[in-house]
Amino acid sequence: MSAQTTAISRPRRWDNPFDPELSTADVERILTAPVFRDLDPDRFPPGQSLPDIVRNDARINRYQRGDIVVLEGDYGNSVFVILSGAVNVLYGYLPEVGRPPPRARRPFWNALAQLWRNSRESETRTLSPSARAVHLRSDRGRAYLPDIERVIAEHSVTLLEHGDMFGEISALSRSPRTATVVADTDCELVELRWQGLRDLRARDPDLRERVDHLHRTRSLLAHLSESPLFAHLDEATIALVAQEIRFENHGTQELFPTGELPAENDGSLAGEPLIAEEGSLTDDLIMIRAGFARVTEHLDHGDRTAGYLKNNDVFGLEELVRQWRGNQSVPLRNSLRAIGYLDILRVPAVVMERYVLPTIPEHLLPPITDADMRSTPVWKRDDSATGIEQPLVDFLIDERIINGTQSMVIDLDRCTGCDDCVKACAATHDGNPRFVRQGPSHDDVMIANACMHCVDAVCLIGCPTGAIHRDLSSGDVHINDDTCIGCGTCSRSCPYGNIVMVEIADKAGTVITDRETGAAIRRATKCDLCAGQLGGPACQRACPNDALARLDMSNPGELVAWLRR
Amino acid sequence: MAASLTRFTRRRARNTALVVGAAVLLVAITHLAEATLHDIRFVTGWTLFGLIVGLALFNLRRRIPVLPLGSASDWEQVHIYGGWFAVAVFLTHTGAGLPDGPLEIALWIPFVAVTISGTAGIWLSRVLPKRMRDHGARELYDRIATRRAEIAAEAQALAISSARDTGSVTIADYYQKELSAYFQRPRNALAHLTGYQGHLRLQQQQIQSLHRYVDARGHKILNRLSELVETKDDLDYQFAAQSALRLWLFVHVPLAYGLLILIAVHAVLAHAFEVGPS
């Protein structure tokens, strides 16, 4: 007896174009615009032609003078090309207006009704005739800067005009916007979402080089303007400093080159390229631009992990300050290694000594300590920077847990296995728990298999529709169930196995299948941090034993505070 | 000094102080009432009823995770320390004496049982998770049976192959007589809960003693069997501990609801047969 099924047409990549109203004339206009007109259509296969990509992954946005195009700190994955008019780029200016409202939360009674409305069948969906596209920044309506004249007068701005491109830093590095962009005149911009940019870069090396060059140049300036170490410098000095800085890539392109967690670590660190070696002269200040780095101390035949660095952290500052104050060479106390890929900026010591250190506020300088860790047995050493026990630091780095901003951490000394967290998760997700209360553990700390909402969310890279995306303001990673086509790319990309593909059913529990092939229709599912629910993540609130917390593992202080609670 | 205390320690100290303070106040009020010839048993009785209803709401909170009703851990703290205060009110209400009538006995026994089961639950919840850490990786309760079946299958395959590979039936015999049943279902639950490890030691000694009767291939098989026995023992520990952590609730919660009903009956009767100054 065959199982009863409901058949539909399998969802496809371009079922939901970025702008369903984009006309053929608009597509032709975009294709003749700067950047796009330089692309060679012959490099694109028939099934994924250049006009197809533009038609489905681009749109034309129109702005009036003073309109906010992107906001610094927001998450976005689009690049923009100016079709007409001009925009102003403002660094470090955070207007009050234009902030997106927090994700709408359901009313109290609606939440209560969920108790009896939850489906008895697993993974049921209501099939809607038209799926809802992912909402990006410019979908939220017009955000307007009323006093643009004053803002421009008081802040340093960069003017971009016809043919210029912006937004590539966030698109390529999956990081928040580094600047606010405001329309200087009435203007038209082509907005190309990440999926389109990814395909164009893959097919056209010239565009790839162009975008990458912009990324390197601008991210350097953006990083300098973000760093408190350089905040006291005037614009001219920053420009001088920027000229002397070297941008370097280390390690493999992705944090997880094989798509999986590294094999059992033997402590050799052979797969982690050395960037700066302990004992060598301190020639530069190293600023972490993207990715993660391991700080190590050589010990006998191995290397002890002293800590880890992430975006905006610096390496070698203490040595540079000692060197500058003592007027003699000071060797590096630690080594620095790339974990996966790593982008760094090297600021030469002479530049630091000439421009930065003489005028830097004292409170920004690191405390100069003479503590000698070598007098403590290795198995008793705490991480000098974080206060986390050494073996736990090793575990967090080896398992790449440091990538998580909302890791589900369980204290095994307090977890009774009551499963209230799992039940709460199911109750808030139509009866379907979105995590497994199991995962890698070290001593009394377990990292459960729940989406960690990573700093570097590699699951976002390959999604053909943009269904998996970051929340605009919080940066949390969500899946738009309506536009997920069930390809499984994100699930395969997640090295932690925290995205689960499920077969969906209709409200009666009947499996939904593809009309043509008969195969089950699938969707990607994962923890969404109870977005829209009242009170935040239900798992954390449901634990009666104070055993579960969602922690930002890229911030060691959060874990330390929790461990010592 | 205070800064070095953990949040949990400070919380425990604060809550204990609150309960002790409230209990002292209650006793003082009771003595004052007795001294002034006031009967406050209705007051303490209704206080106790209200407290127990409040404590029972914790179970309701656990079943409604979709509402922002505060964290379950805060509710549990209120439940634990509110429970201790309820004991103080109960002792005050009953005069700390033994029951002397059928209804009093019917009330006294479930109250004491709820208190004991709750206390046991706290103890189990604080002790067993730590102990489980010394007994292999934490397994999900629902998966223990599957994992046990996997271990049993591997042990059986080893035993069967031993006869073929070593030309001896020593291991196969031992497996059939001693290990087969051991691998089939959870064992030594009580021993695990009391921390006794003699059964494992004995089993390992028996396996060790077989080494002299088998060849090199047999040694390998016995070593692996020994590992499987230990893994199964850890799994049994996990099963025993996690079962205990579930079972106490099956005693505590129904008894608490039963107690509530009995208290309601008691209140009705107490008011119906109230004897007061006419």
Of B65, B73, B138, Cβ closest to residue A424: B65
Interface pTM, i.e. ipTM: 0.89
- In sequence order, the 6+-apart residues with CB closer than 8 A to the CB of A541 are A424, A535, B65, B68, B70, B71, B72
Residue A46 in domain = yes
* B105-156 confidence digits (pLDDT tens): 999 999 999 999 999 999 999 999 999 998 988 999 999 999 999 999 999 9
Whole-number Å distance between alpha carbons of A458 and A435: 19
Among A116, A414, A539, A546, the residue to mutate for chain B (most B Cβ within 10 A): A546
Q: Are residues A91 and A203 in the same domain?
A: yes
Give the bridge partners for A555, in sequence order.
none
Name residue A449's beta-bridge partners: A436
Residues A359 and A415 in one domain: no
Of A380, A402, A417, the residue that ends a domain is A380
Phi, psi of A251 (to 5 degrees): 75, -165
Question: Is B245's Cβ below 8 Å from some Cβ in A?
Answer: yes
Nearest residue of chain B to residue A436 (CA atoms): B140
Q: What is the pLDDT of residues B178-235, one digit of tens each?
A: 999 999 999 999 999 998 889 999 999 999 999 999 888 999 999 999 999 999 999 9
Same-domain check for residues A338 and A294: yes
CA distance A520 to chain B (A): 27
Residues 58-117 of B with CB under 8 A from A: 62, 64-73, 75-76
pLDDT at B115: 97
Q: Do A413 and B62 touch (CB under 8 A)?
A: no
Closest residue of chain A to B130, computed from CA coordinates = A413
B70 contacts A420? CB cut-off 8 A: no
Give the position of tokens 């927090």: A102
Interface residues from chain A to B (CB-CB < 8 Å): 108, 111-112, 114-115, 412-420, 423-424, 427-428, 436-438, 441, 443-444, 446, 533-535, 538, 540-547, 564-565
Provide the residue range defining the domain that includes A207.
Answer: 5-101+118-229
Q: What is the pLDDT of residues B96-108, one digit of tens each?
A: 888 888 888 999 9
Asked whether residue A376 falls in the same domain as residue A435, the answer is no
Residues of B within 8 A of A535 (CB-CB) are: 67-69
The nearest CA of chain B is from the CA of A510 a distance in Å of 26
Question: Closest Cα of chain A to B130: distance in Å?
Answer: 5
User: In terms of domains, do A372 and A398 share one?
Assistant: no
> Which residues of A fall within a CB distance of 8 Å from B72?
420, 541-544
Total domains in chain A come to: 3
Q: Distance (Å, rounded) from C-alpha B91 to C-alpha B23? A: 10
Q: DSSP letter at B211?
A: G
A26 lies in the same domain as A170: yes
Nearest to B140 among A412, A413, A437 (CB): A437
Asked if residue A255 belongs to a domain, the reply is no
Distances (CA, A) of A68 to A155, B8, B98: 15, 47, 77
Q: Which of A544, A470, A527, A485 is nearest to A100 (CA)?
A: A470
Helix (H) or strand (E) holding A468: strand A468-470
Same domain, residue pair A375 and A408: no
Nearest to B174 by CA among B207, B211, B152, B208: B207
Strand-pair category, A445-447 with A477-479: unpaired
Phi, psi (rounded to 5 degrees) for A351:
-70, -45
- CB pair distance less than 8 Å for B72 and A541: yes
Interchain pair A115, B64: CB under 8 A: yes
Assess whether A44 and A167 both reside in one domain.
yes
Q: Please indicate, yes or no, if residue A257 is contained in any of the structural domains.
A: no
Q: Looking at the structure, do residues A168 and A147 belong to the same domain, yes or no?
A: yes
DSSP string, A4-34: PEEEEPPP-GGGS-S-TT--HHHHHHHHTST
Residue A369 lies in a domain: yes
Is A1 in a helix, a strand, or coil? Answer: coil
State how far residue B136 is from chain A, nearest Cα, in angstroms.
11
Looking at residue B1, its pLDDT comes to 40
- Which of A413, A420, A444 is closest, CB to CB, to B72? A420
Q: What is the pLDDT of residues B158-177, one digit of tens each?
A: 999 998 888 888 999 999 99
B246 touches A: beta carbon within 8 Å? yes
Same domain, A135 and A38: yes
Shortest Cα distance from A559 to chain B (angstroms)?
14
Distance CA B15, CA B13 (A): 6
Task: Let me know how many helices (H) and strands (E) chain A has, helices first.
Answer: 15, 24
Residues of A in contact with B239 (CB under 8 A): none
- Tell me the angle at which helices B41-63 and B72-94 cross, rounded to the nearest 10 degrees: 160
* Cβ contact B66–A413 (<8 Å): no
Q: Does residue A534 sit within a domain? A: yes
What is the model's pLDDT at position A279?
92
A219 and A269 share one domain:
no
The per-residue pLDDT for B256 is: 95
Residue A442, min C-alpha distance to chain B (Å): 10
Distance from CA of B87 to the nearest CA of A (A): 22
Enter the pTM of the model: 0.87
How far is residue B260's CA from residue B59's CA, in Å, rounded to a whole number?
14
Pair (A200, A274) in one structural domain:
no
- What CATH number does the domain containing A505 carry? 3.30.70.20
Q: How does pLDDT run along chain A (565 residues), one tens digit per residue?
A: 445 668 888 888 888 899 999 999 999 999 999 999 999 999 999 888 999 999 999 999 999 998 999 988 888 889 999 999 999 998 777 766 655 555 667 788 888 888 888 888 899 988 765 444 444 444 545 678 878 888 888 887 889 999 999 999 999 888 888 889 999 999 999 999 999 999 999 999 999 999 988 988 888 888 887 788 988 888 788 888 988 998 888 876 555 555 455 555 555 677 788 999 999 999 999 999 888 899 988 887 788 888 889 888 999 999 999 999 888 888 998 999 998 888 899 999 999 999 999 988 888 887 776 655 555 555 555 555 667 888 888 899 888 899 999 999 999 999 999 999 999 999 999 999 999 999 999 989 999 999 999 988 989 988 999 999 998 888 899 999 989 999 999 999 998 999 999 999 998 889 999 988 999 999 999 999 999 888 889 999 999 999 999 999 988 889 989 998 8
Q: Which residue in A96, A64, A60 sits closest to A78, CA to CA?
A: A60
Task: Give the DSSP H or E segment for A551.
Answer: strand A548-551
The shortest CB-CB distance from B72 to any of A414, A438, A543 is to A543
Record: contact A545-B76, CB cut-off 8 A: yes
Which pLDDT tens digit goes with each residue over B51-105? 999 999 999 999 999 898 999 999 999 999 999 999 999 999 998 888 888 888 9
How many contacts, defined by CB atoms under 8 Å, are there between A and B?
Answer: 89
Provide the 10 A C-beta neighbour count for residue B226: 17
Angstroms from B54 CA to nearest CA on chain A:
16
Residues of B in contact with A424 (CB under 8 A): 65
Interface contact B4, partner A, CB < 8 A: no
For chain A, say whether B131 makes contact (Cβ under 8 Å). Answer: no
CATH number at residue A333: 2.60.120.10
